[in-house]
């Protein structure tokens, strides 16, 4: 039954890496290596990956650990937990805002100096709208969960 489960990029890369090791050890010819790697990257199910490694010594079967039950909350919640929680997410958003602020102010400063004098501080408009969106995103991120 697991043979009909779909594989992901990690499983495809795992098989391709094992095939590369076998090729470098002289166990596969170039044409056969190319064909097997192409089949590995085209695989949709574990059944498609079967047979690519079976005749090669020292290779391990493809890990089916991806089929284990995932924690509740979906991929976004899992990623947030791995990155350090809500505060890390909020911090990274505001670091991006700070970078945008520096870039826009730098453009304003360079064009002002090159143009013969500083003019109206136009970055206030895009930064103001982005800051409003960031404040809303921060509020909703911290209030959820």
More confident residue, 62 or 129: 129
User: Can you give the pTM of this predicted structure?
Assistant: 0.42
pLDDT of amino acid 143: 86
More confident residue, 91 or 49: 91
Residue boundaries of the structural domains of the chain: 2-67, 74-143
CA 99 from centre of chain: 21
Q: Which two tokens stand for residue 1?
A: 């039954």
Torsion of CA 87, 88, 94, 98, to 10 degrees: 140
Which residues touch 93 (CB under 8 Å, ≥6 apart)? 134, 137, 138, 141
């Amino acid at each position: 039954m697991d043979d009909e489960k779909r594989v992901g990029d990690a499983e495809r890369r795992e098989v391709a890496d094992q095939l590369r090791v076998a090729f470098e050890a002289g166990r596969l010819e170039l044409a056969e290596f190319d064909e097997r790697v192409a089949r590995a990257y085209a695989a949709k199910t574990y059944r498609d990956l079967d047979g690519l490694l079976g005749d090669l010594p020292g290779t391990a079967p493809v890990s089916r650990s991806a089929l284990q039950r995932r924690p509740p909350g979906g991929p976004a919640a899992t990623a947030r937990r791995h990155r350090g929680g809500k505060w890390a997410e909020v911090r990274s958003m505001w670091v991006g805002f700070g970078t945008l602020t520096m870039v826009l102010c730098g453009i304003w400063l360079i064009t002002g100096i090159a143009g013969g004098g500083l003019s109206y501080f136009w970055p206030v408009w895009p930064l103001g709208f982005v800051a409003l969106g960031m404040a809303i995103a921060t509020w909703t991120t911290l209030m959820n969960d």
